[in-house]
Amino acid sequence: MRKINQAFGLLILFFGALFCLVGCASPGPKATASLDDVMSQDVAARQDIKEINERVFASVSATPSLEDYVISEGDLLQITVFEAEDLKTEARVGARGYLTLPLIGSIEVQGLTSREAEQKIEDAYRAKYIRDPHVNIFVKEQFGSKITLLGELEKPGTYDYYGRQRLLDVLALAGGLSEKAGKTVQVRRTIDDSKPPETFLIDMDEMVKDGRSELNIPIQGGDVIFVPEAGTVYVDGAVARSGAYPIKQNMTVQEAIVAAGGMSPAASDKVKLVRCTDQGKRDVIQIDAGDIGATGLNLKDRDIVFVETNPVKAAVYGVRLSLFGTGVAISPPK
């Protein structure tokens, strides 16, 4: 009789624990949007990294010619004036970017292409000394400027910068964007050492998808080009390791759950995706666990993936019956 009462007591404890878990289990946020609606918005707005890289390499300018070489501090130049052979000279560009030439004295050439410097020197001689001068510049020693490419690029690093190029050209130098890259590129430029650097923020989607060619800005020697990561997705609920994870190229809900160690034994068949909208609100989309691998929905920065808990599974998983008469222990999964 005593054993029957103990068994009955164990059953009461078990079902009591089960009832508590069922009543207390959180279903997560309430769904506010359908998957089809969000999918249609995502397909309309999405421009993946592969397409951007295709545009990067398709838009690369031809190899800069000698006339496109950008003169920098330390370069040794040979200047010839065809109308006056005695004006032929060699001069090195000084620390402040100036050359010293016969008759005209100091003239600033740093940052100019070879052709632009020729025209500037021609104008200086034409102003006082020669009616129609023709100047040729030969770069005998090249020191060249540097540009630095950082962040989520295939080959980040510091590169020699000899010819004037645009943003897409230098992104191609670094092998294009990596799979973790975001779609906003920062270009930092120091104009004057006494002032803070200027920063240009370039939206790659606007430049590539919307055809805004003016965003493909000219790059200057000394520029720093930085490509940040795409963003972060938060995975919570009935998963092995809830937390924040970096978004990789075309990352799906299923891949985010895998990154979090997969679903726990107490997971239900319901997954919810919480997404911030452009209007500052949040949409909650419910997805059946069996469908998460089939959806083509890619995650965005600040998305939250919430895996609901099945209260029955949680109770069964958490109940431990003692064989030594100590009763029932409840250890629900986190």
> Is the confidence at residue 59, as pLDDT, over 90?
no
Same domain for 112 and 151, yes or no, is no
Structure tokens at 209: 């998808």
pLDDT of the residue at 295: 65
Closest CA to 285 of 30, 41, 44, 27: 30
- What average pLDDT does the structure give for the chain? 77
Domain boundary among 227, 255, 281: 227
Q: Is the residue at 53 inside a domain?
A: no
Same domain for 21 and 103, yes or no, is no
Question: Cα Rg for the chain, rounded, in angstroms?
Answer: 33
The DSSP H or E segment spanning 167 is: helix 167-173
Same domain for 217 and 249, yes or no, is no
Q: Is the residue at 51 inside a domain?
A: no
| Mean predicted confidence (pLDDT) in 277-293 | 75
Q: What is the CATH number of the domain that holds 115?
A: 3.30.1950.10
Q: In the 8-state DSSP scheme, what is residue 199?
A: E
Q: What is the CATH number of the domain that holds 312?
A: 3.10.560.10
| Mean predicted confidence (pLDDT) in 259-272 | 87
Per-residue CA distances from 100 to 54, 68, 76, 81, 138 (Å): 46, 22, 12, 14, 16
Q: Is the residue at 216 inside a domain?
A: yes
Closest CA to 295 of 248, 241, 256: 256
Q: Is the residue at 200 inside a domain?
A: yes
Q: In the 8-state DSSP scheme, what is residue 178?
A: -
Same domain for 79 and 132, yes or no, is yes
pLDDT of the residue at 30: 61
Q: What is the pLDDT of residues 132-152, one digit of tens each?
A: 999 999 988 877 678 999 998
User: How many domains is the chain built from?
Assistant: 3
> Is the confidence at residue 43, as pLDDT, over 50?
no
User: Band of the pLDDT at 45, cuts 50, 70, 90?
Assistant: very low
Q: In the 8-state DSSP scheme, what is residue 247?
A: P
pLDDT of the residue at 46: 45
| Mean predicted confidence (pLDDT) in 212-236 | 88
Q: In the 8-state DSSP scheme, what is residue 196?
A: P
> Is the confidence at residue 28, as pLDDT, over 70?
no
Same domain for 259 and 200, yes or no, is no
70 touches 64 (CB < 8 A): no
Distance separating alpha carbons of residues 220 and 146, to the nearest angstrom: 9
310 vs 292 pLDDT, higher one: 310
**Domain assignment of residue 110, given as a range:** 71-141
Q: What is the pLDDT of residues 9-22, one digit of tens each?
A: 554 555 555 555 44
Percent share of the chain, pLDDT over 70: 73
Which pTM was predicted? 0.56
Same domain for 212 and 280, yes or no, is no
All residues at 6 or more sequence positions from 172 whose CB lies less than 8 Å from its CB, including other chains: 56, 57, 60
User: Band of the pLDDT at 278, cuts 50, 70, 90?
Assistant: low
59: Cα within 13 Å, side-chain hemisphere? 21
Domain boundary among 90, 125, 141: 141
Same domain for 37 and 118, yes or no, is no
32-36, 92-96, 212-216: range with lowest mean pLDDT: 32-36
Q: What are phi and psi of 140, to 5 degrees?
A: -80, -35
pLDDT of the residue at 65: 56
318 touches 334 (CB < 8 A): no
